[in-house]
Amino acid sequence: MKKNLVKWMPTVLLLLATGCSSYESENASYEAFYSQYGDGEENAYFSGDSFSEFNDNPFIPVATQPISTFSVDADGAFYAIMRRYVNMDYNINASGVRIEEFLNYFTFDYPTPTNGQDIAINSEVNVCPWNQDHYLVRLGLKGKELTEKEVPTANFVFLVDVSGSMDGKDRLDLLKSGLKQLLFKLNPNDRISLITYSGTVQKLLESTPVKNIDKISNAINKLSASGCTAGGEALKMAYEEALANYNPAYNNRIIMGTDGDFNVGVTNIEALVEMVESYAKKGIYMTCLGFGLGNYNDSMMEKISNSGNGNYYYIDCEEEMMKVFVHERERFVSVANDTKCQITFDSTLVKSYRLIGYENRVMNNEDFDNDQKDAGEIGAGQTITALYEIEPTEGFRHTDNNNQSFATFDVRYKKTLDDKSIPLSAHLVVKDINNPATDNFNFATGVAAYGMVLRSSPHKGTATIDMAKELVGKSLTFDPHGYRAELLKLMGRAKVDE
What whole-number distance in Å separates Cα of residue 471 and Cα of residue 96?
A: 23
More confident residue, 268 or 278: 278
Tell me if 384 sits within 8 A of 140, measured CB to CB: yes
In tens, the pLDDT along 437-491 reads: 999 999 999 999 999 999 999 999 999 999 999 999 999 999 999 999 999 999 9
| Of the listed ranges 191-205, 224-238, 312-326, 343-357, the one predicted with least confidence | 224-238
Q: Is the pLDDT of residue 160 over 80?
A: yes
Q: Once rounded to an integer, what is the mean pLDDT over residues 392-420? A: 89
Q: Is the pLDDT of residue 3 over 60?
A: no
Q: Give me the percent of the chain exceeding a pLDDT of 70.
A: 87
pLDDT of residue 288: 93
Half-sphere exposure of 100 (CA within 13 A, CB side): 26
What whole-number distance in Å separates Cα of residue 485 and Cα of residue 471?
A: 12
123 pLDDT band, cuts 50/70/90, is very high
Q: Is the pLDDT of residue 337 over 90?
A: yes
Angle of the 439-455 helix axis to the 465-473 helix axis, nearest 10:
160
pLDDT of residue 97: 94
pLDDT of residue 129: 98
Which 3 state secondary structure label does DSSP give 487? helix
pLDDT of residue 295: 80
Q: Is the pLDDT of residue 125 over 70?
A: yes
Tell me if 274 sits within 8 A of 314, measured CB to CB: no
pLDDT of residue 234: 85
Q: Is the pLDDT of residue 137 over 70?
A: yes
What whole-number distance in Å separates Cα of residue 315 and Cα of residue 117?
A: 32
Kindly give the residue spans of alpha helices, DSSP state H, lying in 222-265: 231-244
pLDDT of residue 198: 87
pLDDT of residue 402: 75
